[in-house]
Amino acid sequence: MGSETPIHILLVSYPAQGHINPLLRLAKCLAAKGSSVIFITTEKAGKDMKAVNNITDKSATPIGEGSLTFEFFDDGLKDDDLIKIGFDGFSKQLELVGKQFLSQMIKNHVESNEPISCIINNPFFPWVCDVAYEHNIPSALLWIQSTAVFTAYYNYFHKLVRFPSDSEPYIDVQLNSSLVLKHNEIPDFLHPLSKYQFLGELILGQFKNLSKAFCVLVDSYEELEHDFIDYSSKNSILMRSIGPLFKNPIIKDANNIRGDFVKSDDCNIIEWLNTKPKDSVVYISFGTLVYLPQEQVNEIAYGLLDSKVSFLWVIKPPPKEMGLKEHVLPNGFLEETNERGKVVKWSPQEEVLAHPSLACFITHCGWNSSMEALSLGVPMLTFPAWGDQVTNAKFLVDVFGVGIRLGYGLMENKLITRDEVKRCLLEATTGEKAEELKKNAGKWKKAAEDVVAVGGSSDRNLDEFIEDIKKCGI
Ligand code: UDP
Protein backbone atom coordinates (compact mmCIF):
# COMPACT_ATOMS: atom_id res chain seq x y z
CA MET A 1 0.00 0.00 0.00
CA GLY A 2 2.89 2.31 0.96
CA SER A 3 4.09 3.16 -2.56
CA GLU A 4 0.60 3.76 -4.03
CA THR A 5 -0.56 7.31 -4.65
CA PRO A 6 -2.90 8.07 -1.74
CA ILE A 7 -6.58 8.61 -2.39
CA HIS A 8 -7.99 11.91 -1.12
CA ILE A 9 -11.01 11.69 1.15
CA LEU A 10 -13.01 14.60 2.61
CA LEU A 11 -14.89 14.16 5.87
CA VAL A 12 -17.42 16.85 6.77
CA SER A 13 -18.74 17.04 10.32
CA TYR A 14 -21.61 18.83 11.99
CA PRO A 15 -20.01 21.02 14.69
CA ALA A 16 -21.08 19.06 17.79
CA GLN A 17 -18.79 17.01 20.01
CA GLY A 18 -20.81 13.82 19.62
CA HIS A 19 -20.54 14.17 15.81
CA ILE A 20 -16.90 15.26 15.62
CA ASN A 21 -15.53 12.48 17.85
CA PRO A 22 -16.62 9.49 15.75
CA LEU A 23 -15.90 11.19 12.41
CA LEU A 24 -12.43 12.21 13.56
CA ARG A 25 -11.79 8.64 14.70
CA LEU A 26 -12.80 7.44 11.23
CA ALA A 27 -10.55 10.11 9.68
CA LYS A 28 -7.59 8.77 11.65
CA CYS A 29 -8.38 5.15 10.70
CA LEU A 30 -8.56 6.04 6.99
CA ALA A 31 -5.31 8.00 7.22
CA ALA A 32 -3.58 5.16 9.08
CA LYS A 33 -4.57 2.88 6.21
CA GLY A 34 -2.84 5.12 3.68
CA SER A 35 -5.35 7.78 2.61
CA SER A 36 -4.84 11.51 2.49
CA VAL A 37 -7.73 12.70 4.66
CA ILE A 38 -9.13 16.19 5.11
CA PHE A 39 -11.40 16.78 8.09
CA ILE A 40 -13.78 19.71 7.73
CA THR A 41 -16.02 21.45 10.25
CA THR A 42 -16.85 25.04 11.20
CA GLU A 43 -14.29 27.61 12.30
CA LYS A 44 -16.01 28.05 15.67
CA ALA A 45 -15.69 24.33 16.44
CA GLY A 46 -12.15 24.47 15.02
CA LYS A 47 -11.25 27.36 17.33
CA ASP A 48 -12.27 25.32 20.40
CA MET A 49 -10.53 22.21 19.08
CA LYS A 50 -7.31 24.13 18.42
CA ALA A 51 -7.34 25.82 21.84
CA VAL A 52 -7.62 22.51 23.66
CA ASN A 53 -5.82 19.96 21.52
CA ASN A 54 -2.85 21.65 19.99
CA ILE A 55 -3.93 20.87 16.43
CA THR A 56 -3.26 23.10 13.47
CA ASP A 57 -5.23 23.66 10.30
CA LYS A 58 -4.18 23.41 6.66
CA SER A 59 -1.05 21.37 7.32
CA ALA A 60 -0.96 17.60 6.93
CA THR A 61 -0.03 15.48 9.95
CA PRO A 62 1.31 12.03 9.05
CA ILE A 63 -0.67 9.14 10.54
CA GLY A 64 0.47 5.63 9.69
CA GLU A 65 0.83 5.43 5.92
CA GLY A 66 -1.37 8.45 5.22
CA SER A 67 -2.06 11.91 6.57
CA LEU A 68 -4.73 14.09 8.17
CA THR A 69 -5.36 17.77 7.51
CA PHE A 70 -7.93 20.01 9.22
CA GLU A 71 -9.88 22.66 7.30
CA PHE A 72 -12.43 24.94 8.94
CA PHE A 73 -15.12 27.06 7.26
CA ASP A 74 -16.65 30.28 8.55
CA ASP A 75 -20.35 29.86 9.35
CA GLY A 76 -20.79 33.63 8.82
CA LEU A 77 -22.59 34.07 12.15
CA LYS A 78 -21.89 36.30 15.12
CA ASP A 79 -22.02 34.84 18.64
CA ASP A 80 -25.53 36.05 19.47
CA ASP A 81 -26.99 35.27 16.01
CA LEU A 82 -27.73 31.73 17.14
CA ILE A 83 -30.28 32.92 19.70
CA LYS A 84 -32.00 35.01 17.00
CA ILE A 85 -32.10 32.46 14.19
CA GLY A 86 -32.65 29.30 16.23
CA PHE A 87 -31.58 25.79 15.37
CA ASP A 88 -33.45 25.72 12.07
CA GLY A 89 -31.84 28.97 10.90
CA PHE A 90 -28.45 27.69 12.02
CA SER A 91 -28.86 24.51 9.96
CA LYS A 92 -29.90 26.48 6.87
CA GLN A 93 -26.95 28.85 7.26
CA LEU A 94 -24.50 25.95 7.59
CA GLU A 95 -25.93 24.40 4.45
CA LEU A 96 -25.60 27.66 2.51
CA VAL A 97 -22.00 28.43 3.43
CA GLY A 98 -20.92 24.79 3.74
CA LYS A 99 -22.02 23.98 0.18
CA GLN A 100 -20.00 26.89 -1.24
CA PHE A 101 -16.93 25.97 0.78
CA LEU A 102 -17.08 22.32 -0.17
CA SER A 103 -17.60 23.01 -3.89
CA GLN A 104 -14.64 25.38 -3.91
CA MET A 105 -12.48 22.85 -2.14
CA ILE A 106 -13.38 20.14 -4.66
CA LYS A 107 -12.48 22.49 -7.54
CA ASN A 108 -9.17 23.40 -5.91
CA HIS A 109 -8.28 19.74 -5.61
CA VAL A 110 -9.09 19.11 -9.27
CA GLU A 111 -6.87 22.05 -10.26
CA SER A 112 -3.97 20.80 -8.17
CA ASN A 113 -4.35 17.35 -9.69
CA GLU A 114 -5.35 15.72 -6.42
CA PRO A 115 -9.02 14.97 -7.08
CA ILE A 116 -11.28 13.95 -4.21
CA SER A 117 -12.18 10.26 -4.33
CA CYS A 118 -14.90 10.20 -1.68
CA ILE A 119 -16.80 12.53 0.66
CA ILE A 120 -18.12 11.31 4.00
CA ASN A 121 -20.56 13.15 6.24
CA ASN A 122 -22.39 12.49 9.47
CA PRO A 123 -26.10 13.12 10.20
CA PHE A 124 -27.47 16.74 10.24
CA PHE A 125 -25.50 17.49 7.06
CA PRO A 126 -27.50 15.65 4.35
CA TRP A 127 -26.56 18.38 1.85
CA VAL A 128 -23.00 17.07 1.72
CA CYS A 129 -24.31 14.14 -0.39
CA ASP A 130 -25.86 16.67 -2.81
CA VAL A 131 -22.54 18.45 -3.31
CA ALA A 132 -20.76 15.13 -3.89
CA TYR A 133 -23.47 14.09 -6.33
CA GLU A 134 -23.23 17.36 -8.30
CA HIS A 135 -19.48 16.84 -8.67
CA ASN A 136 -19.86 13.15 -9.50
CA ILE A 137 -17.89 12.06 -6.44
CA PRO A 138 -18.89 8.94 -4.48
CA SER A 139 -20.22 9.76 -1.02
CA ALA A 140 -20.79 7.78 2.16
CA LEU A 141 -22.53 8.43 5.44
CA LEU A 142 -21.04 7.71 8.84
CA TRP A 143 -24.12 6.89 10.91
CA ILE A 144 -23.10 7.81 14.45
CA GLN A 145 -25.93 6.19 16.36
CA SER A 146 -26.73 2.51 16.76
CA THR A 147 -27.81 0.35 13.84
CA ALA A 148 -31.04 -0.39 15.71
CA VAL A 149 -31.76 3.35 15.76
CA PHE A 150 -30.90 3.54 12.05
CA THR A 151 -33.49 0.79 11.50
CA ALA A 152 -36.09 2.75 13.48
CA TYR A 153 -35.57 5.87 11.33
CA TYR A 154 -35.54 3.77 8.15
CA ASN A 155 -38.82 2.06 9.09
CA TYR A 156 -40.39 5.36 10.04
CA PHE A 157 -39.26 7.11 6.85
CA HIS A 158 -40.49 4.32 4.60
CA LYS A 159 -43.64 3.78 6.71
CA LEU A 160 -42.80 0.09 7.07
CA VAL A 161 -44.23 -0.29 10.55
CA ARG A 162 -46.67 1.69 12.69
CA PHE A 163 -45.18 4.37 14.92
CA PRO A 164 -46.86 6.47 17.63
CA SER A 165 -48.89 9.27 16.03
CA ASP A 166 -51.09 12.15 17.21
CA SER A 167 -54.08 9.82 17.31
CA GLU A 168 -52.19 6.84 18.81
CA PRO A 169 -49.27 8.27 20.82
CA TYR A 170 -48.78 5.25 23.10
CA ILE A 171 -48.53 2.29 20.71
CA ASP A 172 -45.58 -0.11 20.67
CA VAL A 173 -43.29 -0.40 17.65
CA GLN A 174 -42.30 -3.79 16.20
CA LEU A 175 -38.74 -2.93 15.23
CA ASN A 176 -37.92 -6.32 13.74
CA SER A 177 -39.34 -9.82 14.04
CA SER A 178 -38.01 -10.28 17.55
CA LEU A 179 -37.93 -6.82 19.09
CA VAL A 180 -40.73 -4.55 20.26
CA LEU A 181 -40.03 -1.03 21.49
CA LYS A 182 -42.49 0.63 23.85
CA HIS A 183 -43.61 4.10 22.79
CA ASN A 184 -41.09 5.64 25.20
CA GLU A 185 -38.24 3.50 23.89
CA ILE A 186 -38.32 4.69 20.26
CA PRO A 187 -35.87 7.50 19.37
CA ASP A 188 -38.04 10.22 20.85
CA PHE A 189 -37.38 12.74 18.05
CA LEU A 190 -39.87 10.54 16.17
CA HIS A 191 -42.51 10.77 18.90
CA PRO A 192 -45.52 13.05 18.37
CA LEU A 193 -45.22 14.31 21.96
CA SER A 194 -41.51 15.18 21.75
CA LYS A 195 -40.34 18.80 21.94
CA TYR A 196 -37.52 17.86 19.59
CA GLN A 197 -39.35 16.66 16.49
CA PHE A 198 -37.42 19.24 14.42
CA LEU A 199 -34.26 17.21 15.10
CA GLY A 200 -36.06 14.12 13.87
CA GLU A 201 -36.89 16.01 10.65
CA LEU A 202 -33.24 16.89 10.21
CA ILE A 203 -32.17 13.27 10.63
CA LEU A 204 -34.92 12.12 8.26
CA GLY A 205 -33.39 14.51 5.70
CA GLN A 206 -30.49 12.09 5.65
CA PHE A 207 -32.87 9.27 4.73
CA LYS A 208 -34.28 11.30 1.83
CA ASN A 209 -30.73 11.49 0.53
CA LEU A 210 -29.68 7.97 1.40
CA SER A 211 -29.70 6.70 -2.20
CA LYS A 212 -27.01 9.29 -3.05
CA ALA A 213 -24.55 7.65 -0.64
CA PHE A 214 -23.03 4.43 -1.94
CA CYS A 215 -22.33 3.14 1.55
CA VAL A 216 -23.48 3.61 5.14
CA LEU A 217 -20.73 3.13 7.69
CA VAL A 218 -21.78 2.47 11.28
CA ASP A 219 -19.76 2.91 14.45
CA SER A 220 -20.96 -0.43 15.74
CA TYR A 221 -19.92 -4.05 15.30
CA GLU A 222 -21.23 -7.34 13.95
CA GLU A 223 -21.42 -9.30 17.20
CA LEU A 224 -23.35 -6.50 18.88
CA GLU A 225 -25.88 -5.63 16.19
CA HIS A 226 -25.73 -8.42 13.67
CA ASP A 227 -29.51 -8.61 13.07
CA PHE A 228 -29.88 -4.90 12.37
CA ILE A 229 -26.82 -4.72 10.14
CA ASP A 230 -28.18 -7.69 8.25
CA TYR A 231 -31.64 -6.11 8.02
CA SER A 232 -30.20 -3.00 6.34
CA SER A 233 -28.22 -5.08 3.88
CA LYS A 234 -31.42 -6.96 2.98
CA ASN A 235 -32.95 -3.57 2.18
CA SER A 236 -30.25 -3.02 -0.45
CA ILE A 237 -28.23 -0.65 1.70
CA LEU A 238 -24.51 -1.31 1.57
CA MET A 239 -23.90 -1.11 5.30
CA ARG A 240 -20.47 -1.65 6.76
CA SER A 241 -19.94 -1.87 10.52
CA ILE A 242 -16.51 -0.48 11.35
CA GLY A 243 -16.66 0.18 15.08
CA PRO A 244 -15.77 0.66 17.77
CA LEU A 245 -13.70 3.24 15.90
CA PHE A 246 -11.95 4.64 18.98
CA LYS A 247 -10.59 1.22 19.82
CA ASN A 248 -9.00 0.46 16.48
CA PRO A 249 -5.32 -0.27 17.29
CA ILE A 250 -4.16 1.35 14.05
CA ILE A 251 -4.88 4.80 15.53
CA LYS A 252 -3.19 4.18 18.87
CA ASP A 253 -0.25 6.41 17.92
CA ALA A 254 -2.63 9.23 16.92
CA ASN A 255 -4.31 9.44 20.33
CA ASN A 256 -3.00 12.97 20.79
CA ILE A 257 -5.02 14.17 17.78
CA ARG A 258 -8.35 14.82 19.45
CA GLY A 259 -11.41 16.96 18.81
CA ASP A 260 -12.30 17.92 22.40
CA PHE A 261 -13.93 21.36 22.71
CA VAL A 262 -13.22 21.57 26.43
CA LYS A 263 -10.16 20.99 28.58
CA SER A 264 -10.47 19.44 31.99
CA ASP A 265 -10.09 21.87 34.87
CA ASP A 266 -8.34 19.08 36.79
CA CYS A 267 -5.18 17.45 35.47
CA ASN A 268 -5.05 14.83 38.21
CA ILE A 269 -8.04 12.72 37.28
CA ILE A 270 -6.11 9.61 36.28
CA GLU A 271 -3.68 10.00 39.21
CA TRP A 272 -6.69 10.20 41.53
CA LEU A 273 -8.23 7.07 39.95
CA ASN A 274 -4.87 5.32 40.45
CA THR A 275 -5.33 5.69 44.22
CA LYS A 276 -8.67 3.85 44.16
CA PRO A 277 -9.13 0.06 44.43
CA LYS A 278 -10.22 -2.02 41.43
CA ASP A 279 -13.94 -1.84 40.55
CA SER A 280 -14.70 0.81 43.17
CA VAL A 281 -15.44 4.13 41.39
CA VAL A 282 -18.70 5.25 39.81
CA TYR A 283 -18.20 7.57 36.84
CA ILE A 284 -21.04 10.01 36.12
CA SER A 285 -21.41 12.01 32.93
CA PHE A 286 -24.37 13.12 30.83
CA GLY A 287 -22.44 13.89 27.66
CA THR A 288 -22.03 17.32 26.11
CA LEU A 289 -25.62 18.50 25.56
CA VAL A 290 -27.89 17.15 28.28
CA TYR A 291 -28.55 19.48 31.25
CA LEU A 292 -30.52 17.87 34.03
CA PRO A 293 -32.92 19.91 36.15
CA GLN A 294 -31.26 21.17 39.34
CA GLU A 295 -33.70 19.11 41.41
CA GLN A 296 -32.44 15.94 39.69
CA VAL A 297 -28.80 16.89 40.32
CA ASN A 298 -29.66 17.23 44.03
CA GLU A 299 -31.16 13.74 44.14
CA ILE A 300 -28.10 12.23 42.46
CA ALA A 301 -25.84 14.04 44.94
CA TYR A 302 -27.82 12.73 47.93
CA GLY A 303 -27.89 9.25 46.40
CA LEU A 304 -24.09 9.38 46.19
CA LEU A 305 -23.83 10.62 49.76
CA ASP A 306 -26.13 7.88 51.08
CA SER A 307 -24.55 5.02 49.12
CA LYS A 308 -21.03 5.93 50.26
CA VAL A 309 -19.48 4.91 46.91
CA SER A 310 -16.44 6.64 45.41
CA PHE A 311 -17.28 8.71 42.34
CA LEU A 312 -15.96 10.89 39.54
CA TRP A 313 -18.71 13.29 38.39
CA VAL A 314 -18.52 15.53 35.31
CA ILE A 315 -20.66 18.64 35.83
CA LYS A 316 -20.23 20.96 32.86
CA PRO A 317 -21.25 24.59 32.79
CA PRO A 318 -24.16 25.26 30.37
CA PRO A 319 -23.32 27.05 27.11
CA LYS A 320 -24.15 30.77 27.25
CA GLU A 321 -26.79 30.59 24.52
CA MET A 322 -28.91 28.13 26.54
CA GLY A 323 -29.59 30.75 29.21
CA LEU A 324 -29.42 28.13 31.98
CA LYS A 325 -27.99 28.48 35.46
CA GLU A 326 -24.91 26.49 36.49
CA HIS A 327 -25.70 23.48 38.66
CA VAL A 328 -24.96 23.83 42.35
CA LEU A 329 -24.25 20.95 44.68
CA PRO A 330 -25.94 20.64 48.08
CA ASN A 331 -24.31 22.50 50.96
CA GLY A 332 -21.42 20.52 52.45
CA PHE A 333 -21.49 17.88 49.65
CA LEU A 334 -17.95 18.50 48.45
CA GLU A 335 -16.54 18.63 51.97
CA GLU A 336 -18.29 15.45 53.00
CA THR A 337 -17.18 13.51 49.92
CA ASN A 338 -13.71 15.05 49.75
CA GLU A 339 -11.89 11.73 50.17
CA ARG A 340 -14.02 9.56 47.93
CA GLY A 341 -15.36 11.94 45.31
CA LYS A 342 -14.14 14.22 42.53
CA VAL A 343 -16.24 16.73 40.58
CA VAL A 344 -14.80 18.06 37.30
CA LYS A 345 -15.98 20.09 34.32
CA TRP A 346 -14.65 17.64 31.71
CA SER A 347 -12.90 14.29 31.77
CA PRO A 348 -10.70 12.33 29.36
CA GLN A 349 -13.58 9.86 29.09
CA GLU A 350 -11.89 7.12 27.06
CA GLU A 351 -9.05 6.93 29.58
CA VAL A 352 -11.41 7.10 32.53
CA LEU A 353 -13.60 4.27 31.24
CA ALA A 354 -10.53 2.17 30.58
CA HIS A 355 -9.29 2.59 34.16
CA PRO A 356 -9.35 -0.56 36.32
CA SER A 357 -10.79 1.35 39.30
CA LEU A 358 -14.09 1.89 37.45
CA ALA A 359 -17.06 -0.02 38.79
CA CYS A 360 -19.83 1.47 36.67
CA PHE A 361 -20.94 4.48 34.64
CA ILE A 362 -24.08 6.57 35.19
CA THR A 363 -24.62 7.66 31.59
CA HIS A 364 -27.09 9.58 29.45
CA CYS A 365 -26.58 6.77 26.89
CA GLY A 366 -25.34 8.89 23.95
CA TRP A 367 -24.12 6.37 21.37
CA ASN A 368 -20.46 7.41 21.69
CA SER A 369 -20.53 7.02 25.45
CA SER A 370 -22.46 3.74 25.18
CA MET A 371 -20.04 2.35 22.61
CA GLU A 372 -17.01 3.49 24.65
CA ALA A 373 -18.31 1.86 27.85
CA LEU A 374 -19.50 -1.30 26.10
CA SER A 375 -16.21 -1.90 24.40
CA LEU A 376 -14.20 -1.12 27.53
CA GLY A 377 -16.28 -3.55 29.58
CA VAL A 378 -17.92 -1.04 31.94
CA PRO A 379 -21.45 -1.76 33.31
CA MET A 380 -23.89 1.15 33.15
CA LEU A 381 -26.74 2.79 35.01
CA THR A 382 -28.83 4.17 32.19
CA PHE A 383 -30.16 7.70 32.56
CA PRO A 384 -31.22 8.81 29.06
CA ALA A 385 -32.65 12.22 28.26
CA TRP A 386 -33.88 12.25 24.67
CA GLY A 387 -33.44 11.13 21.06
CA ASP A 388 -31.64 7.83 20.51
CA GLN A 389 -30.54 7.76 24.17
CA VAL A 390 -33.84 6.21 25.28
CA THR A 391 -33.48 3.45 22.67
CA ASN A 392 -29.84 2.87 23.59
CA ALA A 393 -30.87 2.51 27.25
CA LYS A 394 -33.36 -0.20 26.28
CA PHE A 395 -30.64 -2.12 24.43
CA LEU A 396 -27.99 -1.69 27.14
CA VAL A 397 -30.36 -3.06 29.77
CA ASP A 398 -32.54 -5.63 28.00
CA VAL A 399 -30.52 -6.78 25.01
CA PHE A 400 -26.82 -6.40 25.82
CA GLY A 401 -27.31 -7.13 29.55
CA VAL A 402 -24.83 -4.52 30.76
CA GLY A 403 -27.11 -1.99 32.40
CA ILE A 404 -29.61 -1.22 35.13
CA ARG A 405 -32.37 1.23 34.26
CA LEU A 406 -32.20 4.37 36.38
CA GLY A 407 -33.95 7.11 34.35
CA TYR A 408 -36.63 7.01 31.66
CA GLY A 409 -36.01 10.09 29.51
CA LEU A 410 -36.97 13.73 30.01
CA MET A 411 -40.25 13.22 28.10
CA GLU A 412 -41.45 11.08 31.01
CA ASN A 413 -40.80 14.04 33.34
CA LYS A 414 -40.09 11.76 36.30
CA LEU A 415 -37.78 12.72 39.14
CA ILE A 416 -35.46 9.85 40.07
CA THR A 417 -35.18 9.97 43.85
CA ARG A 418 -32.06 9.65 45.98
CA ASP A 419 -33.32 6.26 47.22
CA GLU A 420 -33.58 4.94 43.66
CA VAL A 421 -30.10 6.29 42.89
CA LYS A 422 -28.70 4.59 45.98
CA ARG A 423 -30.52 1.30 45.33
CA CYS A 424 -29.31 1.11 41.70
CA LEU A 425 -25.76 2.12 42.63
CA LEU A 426 -25.52 -0.63 45.22
CA GLU A 427 -27.08 -3.17 42.85
CA ALA A 428 -24.58 -2.31 40.12
CA THR A 429 -21.53 -2.37 42.37
CA THR A 430 -22.08 -5.25 44.82
CA GLY A 431 -23.63 -8.70 44.75
CA GLU A 432 -24.98 -11.06 42.11
CA LYS A 433 -26.38 -8.51 39.67
CA ALA A 434 -23.08 -6.61 39.69
CA GLU A 435 -21.26 -9.85 38.83
CA GLU A 436 -23.66 -10.58 35.97
CA LEU A 437 -23.28 -7.08 34.50
CA LYS A 438 -19.52 -7.26 34.74
CA LYS A 439 -19.46 -10.67 33.04
CA ASN A 440 -21.63 -9.48 30.15
CA ALA A 441 -19.63 -6.26 29.83
CA GLY A 442 -16.42 -8.33 29.66
CA LYS A 443 -17.92 -10.34 26.81
CA TRP A 444 -18.62 -7.20 24.74
CA LYS A 445 -15.16 -5.85 25.52
CA LYS A 446 -13.54 -9.02 24.20
CA ALA A 447 -15.77 -8.98 21.10
CA ALA A 448 -14.83 -5.34 20.47
CA GLU A 449 -11.14 -6.15 20.68
CA ASP A 450 -11.56 -9.01 18.22
CA VAL A 451 -13.49 -7.05 15.58
CA VAL A 452 -10.93 -4.25 15.33
CA ALA A 453 -7.90 -6.55 15.33
CA VAL A 454 -6.32 -7.35 11.95
CA GLY A 455 -8.76 -9.60 10.06
CA GLY A 456 -11.67 -8.86 12.46
CA SER A 457 -15.02 -7.94 10.91
CA SER A 458 -14.73 -4.17 11.48
CA ASP A 459 -11.15 -4.06 10.24
CA ARG A 460 -12.08 -6.04 7.12
CA ASN A 461 -15.10 -3.80 6.49
CA LEU A 462 -12.90 -0.74 6.65
CA ASP A 463 -10.46 -2.26 4.13
CA GLU A 464 -13.36 -3.19 1.85
CA PHE A 465 -14.74 0.32 2.07
CA ILE A 466 -11.39 1.72 0.93
CA GLU A 467 -11.31 -0.83 -1.89
CA ASP A 468 -14.85 0.27 -2.90
CA ILE A 469 -13.62 3.85 -3.20
CA LYS A 470 -10.62 2.80 -5.27
CA LYS A 471 -12.85 0.79 -7.60
CA CYS A 472 -14.88 3.95 -8.27
CA GLY A 473 -11.61 5.16 -9.78
CA ILE A 474 -11.47 8.89 -9.01
N1 UDP B 1 -16.75 13.27 26.48
C2 UDP B 1 -15.50 13.39 27.05
N3 UDP B 1 -15.41 13.94 28.28
C4 UDP B 1 -16.49 14.37 29.00
C5 UDP B 1 -17.76 14.25 28.41
C6 UDP B 1 -17.85 13.69 27.15
O7 UDP B 1 -14.48 13.00 26.46
O8 UDP B 1 -16.31 14.87 30.10
C9 UDP B 1 -16.84 12.66 25.13
C10 UDP B 1 -17.30 11.22 25.20
O11 UDP B 1 -16.19 10.35 25.38
C12 UDP B 1 -18.02 11.03 23.86
C13 UDP B 1 -18.56 12.42 23.54
O14 UDP B 1 -17.84 13.34 24.37
O15 UDP B 1 -17.09 10.61 22.87
C16 UDP B 1 -20.04 12.56 23.82
O17 UDP B 1 -20.76 11.89 22.84
P18 UDP B 1 -22.09 11.10 23.19
O19 UDP B 1 -22.63 10.53 21.91
O20 UDP B 1 -21.88 10.13 24.28
O21 UDP B 1 -23.08 12.19 23.77
P22 UDP B 1 -23.55 13.66 23.28
O23 UDP B 1 -22.66 14.62 23.94
O24 UDP B 1 -23.48 13.69 21.78
O25 UDP B 1 -24.95 13.72 23.81
Give residue 27's pLDDT band: very low, low, confident or very high (50, 70, 90).
very high
Mean pLDDT of all residues in 274-293: 96
Which residue's CA is minimally distant from atom 2 of ligand 1? 349
Residue 272: per-residue pLDDT: 97
The answer for residues whose C-beta is within 8 angstroms of residue 176's C-beta and 6 or more apart is 151, 227, 228, 231
Residues 411, 188: contact at Cβ < 8 Å?
yes
Give the pTM: 0.96
Quote the ligand 1 centre to 259 CA distance (angstroms).
Answer: 11
Q: CA–CA separation, 474 vs 470, rounded Å?
A: 7
Q: How many CB atoms within 10 Å of residue 208?
A: 11
Residue 380: per-residue pLDDT: 98
Mean pLDDT of all residues in 149-164: 96
Closest CA to 469 of 194, 116, 25: 116
Mean pLDDT of all residues in 34-46: 97
For 31-40, 196-205, 240-249, which range has the lowest pLDDT when averaged over its residues? Answer: 196-205
Q: Phi and psi of 361, rounded to 5°? A: -130, 115
Top mutation candidate among 369, 371, 386 for ligand 1, by most atoms within 8 Å of CB? 369
Each residue's pLDDT tens digit, 186-243: 999 999 999 899 999 999 999 999 999 999 999 999 999 999 999 988 888 999 999 9
Among residues 19, 109, 191, 364, which one is catalytic? 19
Mean pLDDT of all residues in 61-80: 93
Residue 2: per-residue pLDDT: 47
Pair type for strands 139-143 and 213-218? parallel
136 pLDDT higher than 50: yes
Residue 54: per-residue pLDDT: 80
Each residue's pLDDT tens digit, 140-154: 999 999 999 999 999
Give the HSE-up count for residue 13: Cα atoms under 13 Å, Cβ half-sphere: 27
Residue 234: per-residue pLDDT: 85
Which residue's CA is minimally distant from atom 1 of ligand 1? 349
Q: CA–CA separation, 302 vs 282, rounded Å?
A: 14
Mean pLDDT of all residues in 120-139: 95
First to last CA, the chain: 17
CA-246 nearest atom, ligand 1: 15
Give residue 412's pLDDT band: very low, low, confident or very high (50, 70, 90).
confident
Mean pLDDT of all residues in 83-100: 92
The answer for residues whose C-beta is within 8 angstroms of residue 28's C-beta and 6 or more apart is 37, 63, 68, 251, 254, 257
Quote the ligand 1 centre to 363 CA distance (angstroms).
Answer: 10
> Apex CA 206: angle with CA 202 and CA 210, to 5°?
165
Residue 289: per-residue pLDDT: 93
18 C-beta closer than 6 A to ligand 1: yes
Give residue 264's pLDDT band: very low, low, confident or very high (50, 70, 90).
confident
1 pLDDT higher than 70: no
Mean pLDDT of all residues in 440-445: 98
283 C-beta closer than 6 A to ligand 1: no
CA-16 nearest atom, ligand 1: 24
| Mean pLDDT across the chain | 94
Quote the ligand 1 centre to 329 CA distance (angstroms).
Answer: 22
386 C-beta closer than 6 A to ligand 1: no
Quote the ligand 1 centre to 18 CA distance (angstroms).
Answer: 6
CA-22 nearest atom, ligand 1: 15
19 is catalytic: yes
346 C-beta closer than 6 A to ligand 1: yes
Residue 3: per-residue pLDDT: 57
349 pLDDT higher than 80: yes
Residues 368, 293: contact at Cβ < 8 Å?
no
Pair type for strands 380-382 and 310-314? unpaired
Q: CA–CA separation, 217 vs 220, rounded Å?
A: 9
287 C-beta closer than 6 A to ligand 1: yes
Residue-wise burial string across 450-466, b where 16 or more C-beta atoms lie within 10 A, e elsewhere: bbbeeebbbbebbbebb
Residue 474: per-residue pLDDT: 61
Q: CA–CA separation, 357 vs 278, rounded Å?
A: 4
Closest CA to 349 of 325, 327, 378, 320: 378
